[in-house]
Structure 1
Amino acid sequence: MFANLVNEKRSAYKTVKIGYSWTEMIFGFWTPVFRGDFKWASVIVLAEILFGSFTWGGGAFLVTFVFAFFYNRLYVGDMIKQGFKPADQNSFNVLKSYNYI
């Protein structure tokens, strides 16, 4: 499921994924890096280092698996705090039904 967000002040338009983040599970901290979300990229890297060092790397996979469940919600929440709004009624309904707004 996808939603469209628009920031009228910056004339920016983004399409965001709603729900489970498969890209986060597969690519780990690279997903927020490619999205320009360096705050969450650094949090994920630190968590992967912390948990991976105690478990010979297995904890890093566990971190990416857990973050995949809620990373899209965090990303959309940060976008809304930056001034983005749903671009249309359908996007508003999708975000509302998944409790993102």
Structure 2
Amino acid sequence: MITLKNQSTGLVKQCPTGYSWTTFLFGIFVPLIRGDIKWAAILFLISLFTALCTAGFGALFVGPIFAYFYNKIFIKSMIEKGYSYSDEATKSYLIQNSIVCAEPTPSLNLSNAPQKTNLSDN
């Protein structure tokens, strides 16, 4: 579980990490309860399409596969909404799991360095 904080409102949210067992067990209801309407609709449409193509059997596989990715998707959507890490443990988790990129290191300012020119003999 990681903690994200909205920089503009100060609201703090706990976000689960890893495999989403709640999504595995309760399916579409988890994104609905979290207020993630977009992913609830996507999960519903994928399940519906898979069920129609496989006479209902394929929809059994959508939930376990989606549960593997959903917590990471939810964290990314929270970051897009203005949330950021609230502590160093959360920051290191986000970087290690490639959810956010590490902060770039300051580069050298080479604007005052002499410019190389390519002069050809004519």
What's the TM-score once normalised by structure 2's chain length?
0.77
Confirm or deny that 1:22 pairs with 2:9. Answer: no
Which residue is equivalent to 1:54? 53
User: Structure 1 segments of 4 or more deviating over 4 A?
Assistant: none
Answer 1 or 2: higher relative contact order, Cα 8 Å, separation at least 6: 1
Q: Highest Rg: 1 or 2?
A: 2
Partner deviation per Cα, 1:17-46 (whole Å, 9 max, x = no partner): 111111111111111001000000000000
Give yes or no for the alignment of 1:94 onto 2:93. Answer: yes
Question: For structure 1, which segment, 89-98 or 35-44, has the greater mean C-alpha deviation from structure 2 after superposition?
Answer: 89-98
Equivalent residue for 2:103? none
Query: 1:3–1:95: 8 Å Cα contact kept in structure 2?
Result: no
1:3 aligns with 2:9: no
1:72 maps to what in 2? 71
Q: How many residues are treated as equivalent by the alignment?
A: 100
Letter in 2 for 1:25: F
Q: Is the 8 A contact 1:32 1:40 kept in 2?
A: yes
Instruction: Name the amino acid aligned to 1:54.
Output: C
* CA distance, structure 1, for counterparts of residue 58 and residue 11 of structure 2: 37
Give the structure with the larger strand fraction. Answer: 1
Determine helix, strand or coil for the equivalent of 1:40.
Answer: helix
Q: Distance in 1 between matches of 2:52 and 2:67?
A: 20
Q: TM-score, normalised by structure 1?
A: 0.92
Structure 1: state its 5+ residue gaps. none
